[in-house]
Amino acid sequence: MSDVFDPLVGQDRAVSAMRHYVRTPVHAYLFAGPAGTNVHDAMIAFAAALQCPDFGCGTCEACRKVLHGVDPDVHVADRAGVTWRVDDLRELDRISRRRPLGAGYQIMVVRDIELTVAGAAPSAPALLKSLEEPPTRTIFLLSAAELPETLDTIVSRCVSITFQAMSESDLTRVLVREGASAEVAATAARSAGGNLARARILVRDPGLGERLATWRSVPEVLTGTAAGATTLAFDLTAAIDAAMAPLSAWHAEDLARRTREAKEVGLRSLGNRKEIEAQFKREERRFRLEELRFGISVLTGVYRDRMVAALTEVRETGESEGRARHRVAASLEAIDLLVAANERLSTNIDEALLITDLMLSLARL
C-alpha cells in the first residue's frame, strides 16, 4: 500500500481530511460514524500517521508499531462496564499526562464516547476536563456512533471527521480484494448493513445462506401452535450460536498474529493481552446483537413483501378480498412486533427469551 490510509475504502472525504489534519495536528479529533464503518481502523491509521515522520508511509518502524498494536505511546482505552465510568476516565487522564517514550506523541484512543452520557452516573465531565487541559504532546482520538446533544460540549473541543455506512459495492470490493469470491462477497455485503467488520466475519461463514433461508421461512414454518413456535425459536437461537464460530476463529487468529508481531519487534509478550481479550468479548456480544438485528430485518422484509402481495390481490381480485385483507392486517401486526423486538434489543434482555417471545407472538397472527 502507498500509505496507511489506502485500506479505508469508501471513506474518501474522511481520508482526505485525515491526510490534511495529520500535518498540523491539534489536541483532539472526533471520528463519528455508524458502527462497523471502519472508524477504529481509521483511528489507528491516523495514530500511525501522527507518529510517522512521513505522515503515514505505512512501511517505517513507527507505522508498523502502531498498526501492530505495540507502540507504547498509543493507548487504546477500554471501559470496565457497559458505559464509561468516571474512574475509567480518570485513569485515562492519568495516562495522558505521561511523557511520550518516543519522539512522537502520546495518543489516547477512546471509543464510543456516547457512553459517557449514558447510565445513572454520566462521566462526560471527566472526559471534558482532559480535553480542556491537555499536555502539549498528547492527542486524543475519540469515536462515537451517535452524537446526542449532551455531547455538544465535548464535540466543540474536537475537530470532527465524519464517516458513512459503506455501500454494498464498496463492501464487496474490499472483501474480494481480501480474497473472497465475488458471489460470497456479494452475499456477505448484502447482509452486513454497511458494516465492514460484520461483512468480514460473514464472508468466512459457510452457514450464512442457510441462516438467511431459516429467517425467511419463518411465516411458512409457524403453524399456529406454541410447540412449533418454541421449536423454531430454538433453531434460530442455535443458528445465532453457530454464527459466532467464524468470529471466535477470527479472534484466535488475531491474537496469535499480535503475539507473533510483538515478538518480532523485540517484546517478550503481548503487553495488553487482557485489554484485547476484553475487547473481543465486547465484540462477540455486539456481534450476537447484530446477528439478531439482521434476522429481524430479514424477517421484516418477508412480511413487508407478503403485505405488498396481499394489497395487490385486494386491488386485482374480488373473490379473495377478505382473505387478502386479513393477510395485510396480519403482516402489519407482524411488522409492529418485529419493530418492538428490535427496540427491546437496546436493553439487556436475553436473546433466547426475546426470540421465543417473538415467535409465540407471530404464531398467534
Q: How confident is the model at residue 57 (pLDDT cuts 50, 70, 90)?
A: very high
Q: In what order do the strands lie in the sheet with 138-144?
A: 74-76, 106-110, 138-144, 28-32, 159-162
The amino acid sitting at 136 is T
Spatial distance between the Cα atoms of 222 and 240, rounded to a whole number of angstroms: 19
| Cα torsion 245, 246, 247, 251: sign | positive
Question: Which alpha helices (DSSP H) does the chain contain, by range?
Answer: 12-21, 39-51, 61-67, 86-96, 124-132, 152-156, 168-177, 182-191, 196-202, 208-216, 218-221, 226-264, 273-316, 321-344, 351-363
Instruction: Look at residue 318 in the predicted model and tell me its pLDDT.
Output: 58
Judge residue 322's burial from the number of C-beta atoms within 10 Å of its C-beta, 0-12 exposed, 13-18 middle, 19 or more buried: exposed
Q: Where are the domains of the chain?
A: 12-165, 205-363
The amino acid sitting at 195 is N
The whole-chain average pLDDT of the chain stands at 87
Query: Regarding predicted confidence, which is higher, 290 or 42?
Result: 42
Is residue 62 within 8 Å of residue 51, measured between CB atoms? yes
Instruction: Look at residue 271 in the predicted model and tell me its pLDDT.
Output: 66
Q: How confident is the model at residue 290 (pLDDT cuts 50, 70, 90)?
A: confident
Domain boundaries 12-165, corresponding CATH code: 3.40.50.300
Spatial distance between the Cα atoms of 212 and 364, rounded to a whole number of angstroms: 23
Is the pLDDT assigned to residue 147 strictly greater than 70? yes
Instruction: Look at residue 244 in the predicted model and tell me its pLDDT.
Output: 86
Spatial distance between the Cα atoms of 24 and 201, rounded to a whole number of angstroms: 36
Instruction: Look at residue 359 in the predicted model and tell me its pLDDT.
Output: 95
Q: Which three cell numbers stand for residue 1?
A: 500500500
pLDDT digits over 266-283, tens only? 777 776 677 677 778 877
The amino acid sitting at 293 is R
Is residue 202 within 8 Å of residue 185, measured between CB atoms? no
CA-to-CA dists, residue 190 to 175, 201, 297, 298, angstroms: 12, 13, 12, 11
pLDDT digits over 175-189, tens only? 998 888 898 888 888
pLDDT digits over 304-352, tens only? 998 888 888 777 765 556 777 788 888 999 999 999 998 888 777 788 8
Spatial distance between the Cα atoms of 262 and 269, rounded to a whole number of angstroms: 6
Is the pLDDT assigned to residue 64 strictly greater than 80? yes
> Which DSSP helix (H) or strand (E) runs through 15?
helix 12-21
Is the pLDDT assigned to residue 62 strictly greater than 80? yes
How many other β-carbons are positioned within 10 Å of the β-carbon of residue 193?
Answer: 19
Residues whose CB is less than 8 angstroms from the CB of residue 137 and which lie 6 or more positions away in sequence, other chains included: 99, 100, 105, 106
Spatial distance between the Cα atoms of 236 and 217, rounded to a whole number of angstroms: 11
Instruction: Look at residue 17 in the predicted model and tell me its pLDDT.
Output: 95
Q: Which three cell numbers stand for residue 339?
A: 419493530
How many other β-carbons are positioned within 10 Å of the β-carbon of residue 113?
Answer: 25
Residues whose CB is less than 8 angstroms from the CB of residue 271 and which lie 6 or more positions away in sequence, other chains included: 70, 72, 262
Spatial distance between the Cα atoms of 205 and 244, rounded to a whole number of angstroms: 9
Spatial distance between the Cα atoms of 198 and 298, rounded to a whole number of angstroms: 16
Instruction: Look at residue 338 in the predicted model and tell me its pLDDT.
Output: 93
pLDDT digits over 74-122, tens only? 999 877 666 788 998 999 999 999 999 988 999 999 998 998 887 667 8
